[in-house]
Amino acid sequence: MIMNTEMKRMIGRVELIKRNEHIIRLNLEGLNKLFCPQFVNVHDCIIISDKPILLSDKQFLKVIKMHNDKTGYETCNTDTRVNDYIVDEISDLEALAIAFMTIDIWSNKLKMLEPNSKFCFIIDCNDGYVTLRFHKVRAEESGWLCNDIDSYTEPIGYLVK
């Protein structure tokens, strides 16, 4: 995993939570929505949506222009705040531990949809919330994050699977 200094500090503390068998109360419906979102293919982009997205080629080109590229479109449409799916208020470390579980589950589901594709999972912590996003890795497009990951002030990292 590629991460900035702040994320490295958090990851070390997450390992302590895992070893201490910390208990987090979860809502099963919320957990199901977090772990099993509806992945929808839109013109070779995988996004999260509860319903099919029907865009003509012309409409899709407008959408891509608005987001700069397919990577930007996917990243904006897979933005998921982990804390929103948990019953009780939890620490950013607890949310981060759940985020890593979520990445493992999403990665497996996405590989079933597109076995030949690699996906970049982006995780960041800001204002007490942990957010996940992903996009397909495309040779013709750069990643969503800037190259200097330490230029971000909040803990952030990404993992390609």
What pLDDT does residue 26 have? 65
Q: What is the Cα–Cα distance from 99 to 132, expressed in whole angstroms?
A: 7
pTM over the 0.95 mark: no
Given a contact cutoff of 8 angstroms between Cβ atoms, the answer to whether 85 and 27 are in contact is yes
Task: Kindly report the number of other CB atoms within 10 A of residue 32's CB atom.
Answer: 12
- Tens-digit pLDDT profile for residues 80-97: 999 998 877 888 888 998
DSSP 114: -
Q: How does residue 65 score in pLDDT terms, banded at 50, 70 and 90?
A: very high
As to burial, measured by CB atoms within 10 angstroms (0-12 exposed, 13-18 middle, 19+ buried), residue 64 is middle
Q: Considering only CA atoms, which of 96, 78, 63 is closest in space to residue 144?
A: 78
Q: Does the pLDDT at position 21 exceed 60?
A: no
For 121-147, write each residue's pLDDT tens digit: 999 999 889 999 999 999 999 889 998
Provide the residue range defining the domain that includes 126: 2-160
Tell me which residue of 120, 109, 98, 122 sits closest to 25, measured CA to CA.
98
Domain count, the chain: 1
36 has pLDDT over 70 = yes
Write down the pLDDT at residue 49. 97
